[in-house]
Chains A and B, each alone.
Chain A
């Protein structure tokens, strides 16, 4: 598939929501207003681990302006059971317990109670009047500590599942799994060089600019209306229904504009609470988190402990690889260790592999997805070891990777063989880029490379397209737009219809107004909702051909559509001309597309990072950074580049600065964006991008998802660059000045 085959796909039209976004007219959840609106505030735990002896709300209830207070006891008292909230089986008690704690608090910031009042200041004051009697318990904050015998136990009912079987052993390890391929001992025996290293990565947050928010109205007719910031309106609907024990048909969720999510706005925190407060008051209730709430009460990505052992022959072939991966799930099971394990060696064709994964609960907020969840931690470890082996073998780091790169037919350790992938093409593009051979130009400078992978997913999506008399179309979809997907989806419809992208008006609607659509996540939206738009547009074309055939008194099969013009023999009608005749030929044309597509194409990404390390302070300056990624087919190249730049910057922040800095009592000491230092434009050079296009044969236009793989390689590449600049192999994220100075001093000693 070449770009010139398309008239819309591969171009760079202005985004449909651009004017509203840049003029401030776009409506976000915090903007939502309604007659009689009450304001909510959540009381959060001051302890990282404690039994809740008593919650006394009586003083708070007496405060003028307070209308209602809810605690976990206000949830329906339905028996515990396993529920599928879109991410697999979860005990209902865990799902409810993270929204409002019952029995125990499991992290500092754990929600305990919520107040609704006539204004937010009264709600905050009332929350301060709620008396909570705790029995403080010792906390445990890292996976290795939580796995030790005698560690404080978070859940008395959590028993370790090992290799799929219940052990009956109560512990903080929710699960231990293993992938095995080939004979890893034989592989290491064959190796001439073996490197084994341990790595630690800190808990980091997605850092979306817009805090979580939700407004709910439990209406007199029993329906629950929700307006919120979410990556998945149907997830909010389904989870809220489950927690409140009402049918999904009783809930309508309207997604507001979303100010970033990166995986962190899939989970549900506020909506059921706002609904309970609304039920008690009969009024709509809005809750908006503060930044501190976001850091302490929502899901970051797991911190991790990873050990990687890898062996290679002198000829440059990797013979064996082994990984031990323990990820912090936070307060409830469900860390990102599973995809981390599936990605850790995904870039390489290795015959002998063992990967052990451990899902470990700790006294930190329950973790959530973050852009290629689990893969960045894994790639930091694996790519550091790959780099060290290449160095020991005297091989160029990219040549070594090319020699071992995964390709079509390579089997991953978790089982499946790859279909068409672009790993080799990405590495080759890195090698060909002038950045890779450019002089570094000074002392204390180094260049590092790394590659990474993310699967991408399909999942259901729905779309309808209605044709207007002026030849434009209205496209209705259910995917909340985080990264410009209104436009990338509209472009795929426009391509089929033969009209400009600007003539497609995309609208993201509520859960009553479109068919089920899974989350905006997993790099699926342009792929899957774009595919639904493609199908809806095909449906429109089929109906329009029938209308043209009616007008021309011919068979629909004889009508063709080429670049927006319908033809049959010597007759022709442009799309707008035919659209103007719909009323006379049978009425409106509405096309529909509903898909649960297969054909998902995983994406590889690589980056080249130049750094300068100040040997006196340990400060790392990123001098130059190039991101390379296989997009399959870049539907809107500017948005692909934007994703690559965004993912790179988040990866740089993860590498150099970001961490939940916890004290021994389990309190996050840097829960503001002043202290939790994310990189800004002033900290970074221009992120250069190279889009590689290895078309995905499973998609009508060859698209792969591009939202995630780009965050995977930066920490590994920067670690490798730091090694060449300062001579120290970093084994811990973040690689901030104290960590680097410690490494330099340790080496001197």
Chain B
């Protein structure tokens, strides 16, 4: 996923800052790969056919306050 974000940054400069804070996935964002939210974040492996979504993090019943959505 880190590589995916690097590639996205090349195509759409500035997107990395939306997703990462000091190199870490912002806590208000979850990554869903092929329809499933992964707990591995940037360490999640993906394949060329994987579908990736950055969605609002929901942690135990409450949402993150300023979640980035559907990018």
Q: A residues within 8 Å of B by Cβ?
A: 82, 84, 86-90, 161, 164, 174-175, 177-180, 231-232, 263, 266, 329, 332-334, 336-339, 341-342, 359, 368-369, 371-374, 414-419, 455, 457-460, 518-524, 596-600, 698, 708
Q: Judge whether B61 and A84 touch: CB under 8 Å.
A: no
Q: Judge whether A174 and B60 touch: CB under 8 Å.
A: no
**How many B residues touch A, CB cutoff 8 Å?**
31
- Whether a CB of chain A sits under 8 angstroms from the CB of B42 is no
Q: Judge whether B56 and A338 touch: CB under 8 Å.
A: yes
Give the residue of A164, A458, A521, A597 whose beta carbon is less than 8 angstroms from that of B62: A521
Shortest CB distance B32–A (Å) = 5
Q: Judge whether B38 and A598 touch: CB under 8 Å.
A: yes
Shortest CB distance B51–A (Å) = 7
Q: From residue 10 to 57 of chain B, which have CB atoms closer than 8 A to chain A?
A: 18, 21, 26-28, 32, 34-39, 51, 53, 55-57
Residues of B within 8 A of A415 (CB): 32, 53, 55, 70
The proximity string for B residues 58-70 relative to A, scoring 1 for CB distances below 8 Å and 0 otherwise, is 1111111111111
**Bound-state Cα–Cα, A416 to B51, Å:** 8
Q: Judge whether A417 and B59 touch: CB under 8 Å.
A: no
Most chain A CB within a 10 A radius of its CB, from B51, B62, B63, B71? B62
Shortest CB distance A598–B (Å) = 6
Q: Judge whether A87 and B62 touch: CB under 8 Å.
A: yes
**Bound-state Cα–Cα, A522 to B58, Å:** 8
From DSSP, what is the main secondary structure of chain B's interface residues? loop
**Bound-state Cα–Cα, A339 to B58, Å:** 7
**Bound-state Cα–Cα, A199 to B58, Å:** 25
Q: B residues within 8 Å of A by Cβ?
A: 18, 21, 26-28, 32, 34-39, 51, 53, 55-71
Shortest CB distance B68–A (Å) = 5
With A89-B21, A174-B66 given, name 9 new contacts (CB 8 A): A82-B21, A164-B18, A266-B61, A333-B65, A368-B62, A416-B32, A416-B53, A419-B35, A458-B39
**Bound-state Cα–Cα, A583 to B53, Å:** 52
Give the residue of B27, B34, B62, B67 whose beta carbon is less than 8 angstroms from that of A177: B67
**Bound-state Cα–Cα, A263 to B58, Å:** 12
A-B pair number, CB within 8 angstroms: 149
User: With A88-B27, A416-B35, A598-B39 in contact, is A177–B69 under 8 Å at CB?
Assistant: yes
**Bound-state Cα–Cα, A90 to B66, Å:** 9
Closest chain B residue, CB of each to CB of A371: B61
Q: Judge whether A175 and B61 touch: CB under 8 Å.
A: no
**Bound-state Cα–Cα, A82 to B27, Å:** 11
Q: Judge whether B35 and A88 touch: CB under 8 Å.
A: no
**Bound-state Cα–Cα, A596 to B34, Å:** 18
Shortest CB distance A183–B (Å) = 16
**Bound-state Cα–Cα, A596 to B53, Å:** 19
Shortest CB distance B67–A (Å) = 5
Residues of A within 8 A of B60 (CB): 86, 231-232, 266, 369, 457, 459, 518-522, 524
Shortest CB distance B38–A (Å) = 6
Residues of A within 8 A of B64 (CB): 87-89, 334, 338
Residues of A within 8 A of B63 (CB): 87-88, 334, 336-339, 373-374
User: With A336-B62, A414-B53 in contact, is A88–B67 under 8 Å at CB?
Assistant: yes
Closest chain A residue, CB of each to CB of B67: A338
Q: Judge whether A417 and B66 touch: CB under 8 Å.
A: no
Shortest CB distance A510–B (Å) = 19
- A-B contacts, 27 of them at CB < 8 A, read A88-B27, A88-B28, A88-B59, A89-B64, A161-B66, A164-B18, A164-B69, A175-B66, A178-B70, A179-B69, A180-B70, A334-B63, A338-B67, A339-B58, A341-B69, A369-B61, A371-B61, A415-B53, A415-B55, A416-B53, A419-B36, A457-B58, A457-B60, A460-B39, A521-B61, A522-B61, A597-B39
Q: Judge whether B65 and A164 touch: CB under 8 Å.
A: no
User: With A333-B65, A359-B65, A414-B70 in contact, is A86–B36 under 8 Å at CB?
Assistant: no
**Bound-state Cα–Cα, A180 to B39, Å:** 25
Residues of A within 8 A of B69 (CB): 164, 177-179, 338, 341, 414
Residues of B within 8 A of A521 (CB): 60-62
**Bound-state Cα–Cα, A597 to B38, Å:** 8
**Bound-state Cα–Cα, A180 to B69, Å:** 10
Residues of B within 8 A of A87 (CB): 27, 59, 62-65
Q: Judge whether A414 and B38 touch: CB under 8 Å.
A: no
Residues of A within 8 A of B37 (CB): 416, 457-458, 598, 600
User: With A266-B60, A338-B64, A457-B59 in contact, is A84–B27 under 8 Å at CB?
Assistant: yes
Closest chain B residue, CB of each to CB of A523: B61
**Bound-state Cα–Cα, A708 to B60, Å:** 11
**Bound-state Cα–Cα, A408 to B56, Å:** 21
Residues of A within 8 A of B53 (CB): 414-416
